[in-house]
């Protein structure tokens, strides 16, 4: 908040640090809309997970066998991510935030034209022009990003079969690996239930309950459900 201001919306996981009274009061105080992602389904935080995936991939390539030093390499990986043009927007994240491209270290070592020809007064004028045009650049980047996402969605939808359930359907729920009985080893059941679909919480997200128990506190994604056959 001190670096980037107060956001309109925050999407978090279901960790206690985000679901606690103090965090909710903070959001209410500043008018922040707080939404929770579906448990064990990071795809609901699409943008965050997409960025994290790229960062993890680049960290692995950077670290090689020295996995324990990831914290030291993280700033370098983040710098690379922020200064490389993205195919989805045609812009770098840095330029979308500040209205100009960053001066990278190699430009100071080999004196690129913009370093050699740098003039303070002219630079200030150009920065002002860049900031004036920033909103227009962001709009163009947003249009390109939407088109990119539509192409990706069409490709994905043509290769996936969506699971759909109706109210009162009996389903089995995949057991979370973190809660499995490790003593049972490979013999432990991978599915539990049956549960009953009680309501539809969103696209591909359902609320379920088990006979004799109350409704589960968090909705479940269809990816972790399957029809129970009597």
How much is the mean pLDDT over the chain?
83
- Decide the pairing of beta strands 170-174 and 225-227: antiparallel
How would DSSP label each residue in 73-134?
HHHHHHHHHHHS--TTTSS-HHHHHHSS----HHHHHHT-HHHHT--HHHHHHHHHHHHHHH
Q: Domain locations in the chain? A: 84-160, 170-227
187, 189, 210: which is closest to 198 by C-alpha? 210
Model pLDDT for residues 46-57, shown as the tens digit of each residue: 677 788 888 888
- Average pLDDT for 52-70: 81
Predicted confidence (pLDDT) per residue in 147-179, tens digit = 998 998 888 888 777 788 999 999 999 988 766
* CATH of 170-227 among 2.60.60, 2.50.20, 2.30.30, 2.40.50: 2.30.30
On the question of pLDDT at 184 being above 60, the answer is no
Tally Cβ neighbours within 10 Å of residue 102.
15
């Amino acid at each position: 908040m001190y670096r980037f201001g107060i956001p309109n919306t925050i999407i978090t996981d279901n960790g206690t640090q985000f679901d606690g009274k103090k965090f909710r009061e903070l959001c209410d105080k500043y008018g922040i809309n707080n939404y929770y992602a579906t448990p064990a389904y990071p795809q609901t935080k699409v943008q965050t997970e997409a960025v994290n995936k790229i960062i993890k991939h680049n960290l692995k390539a950077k670290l090689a066998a020295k996995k324990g030093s990831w914290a030291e390499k993280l700033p370098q990986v983040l710098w690379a991510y922020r200064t490389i043009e993205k195919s989805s927007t045609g812009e770098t994240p840095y330029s979308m935030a500040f209205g100009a491209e960053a001066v990278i270290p190699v430009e100071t070592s080999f004196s690129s034209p913009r370093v050699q020809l740098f003039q303070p007064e002219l630079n200030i004028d150009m920065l002002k022009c860049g900031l004036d045009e920033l909103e227009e650049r962001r709009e163009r980047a947003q249009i390109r990003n939407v088109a990119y996402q539509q192409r990706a969605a069409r490709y994905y939808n043509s290769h996936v079969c969506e699971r759909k359930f109706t109210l009162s359907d009996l389903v089995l729920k995949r057991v979370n690996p973190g809660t499995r009985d490790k003593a049972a080893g490979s013999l432990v059941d991978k599915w539990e239930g049956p549960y009953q679909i009680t309501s539809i919480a969103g696209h591909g997200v359902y609320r379920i309950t088990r006979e004799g128990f109350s409704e589960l506190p968090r909705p479940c994604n269809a990816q972790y459900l399957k029809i129970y056959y009597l």
